[in-house]
Amino acid sequence: MSDSECDSQFYSVQVADSTFTVLKRYQQLKPIGSGAQGIVCAAFDTVLGINVAVKKLSRPFQNQTHAKRAYRELVLLKCVNHKNIIFMYVADVFFPRYLVMELMDANLCQVIHMELDHERMSYLLYQMLCGIKHLHSAGIIHRDLKPSNIVVKSDCTLKILDFGLARTACTNFMMTPYVVTRYYRAPEVILGMGYKENVDIWSVGCIMAEMVLHKVLFPGRDCILLREDPQSFMLCKKFTLS
């Protein structure tokens, strides 16, 4: 296929402050979320006749770190197949910068402060743990579990997404100490200790508490402040070592 024929399959559209250059099959792009890893738009796939989510990765080739995160997310989404993990349409990865995934109705941030009954809350947590168990069984640590990285549908179906910080648990390399959003960061991560899959379980616990309390359980301003507070430091160390 010539360059001109290839170019004819794409078009550019301005979405908020970003330009999306996507295949013409994806129409009616509307922004639905953004973060450190990129911007996500809802779109209509005219070929499949369904709504999808198109994620534009943020500067995937700016440096080695960004490239590794983009590569990890692409590989993990391609390989992991579970009903509680977001599904990626592998054939629709284009320009290495764009990923096309199934579209959900909302992220957990938008429903976490609702008055959920015990049945719905239990079902959401159960699905969360099922997805994490599948990842851990495959030797994968998510390392960035938080409400904005968990999406739901109106029927209470839940899926985990955003694998830019995920790593294999059996690696021989030193784990990055600065991972997981601060509110959901396990004590061993804060204290710069070695960590394994259980840091994801801590994050799930923090999310569960937030669903019950309707507020962040540990609203720390800076992880360094914990080190400067001997009482809090020793308390976290006690929980980690016990």
Query: Annotated catalytic sites, by residue?
Result: 144
What Rg do the C-alpha atoms of the chain give, in angstroms? 19
Q: Which residue has the tokens 């994968």?
A: 140
Q: Which residue has the tokens 């792009």?
A: 29
Tokens matching residue 143: 């390392």
Contacts of 227-234 spanning 24+ positions with Cβ under 8 A: 227/191, 233/191
The CA distance from 158 to 150, in Å, is 7
Q: Which residues contact 178 (CB under 8 A, 6 or more apart)?
A: none
The CA distance from 26 to 39, in Å, is 16
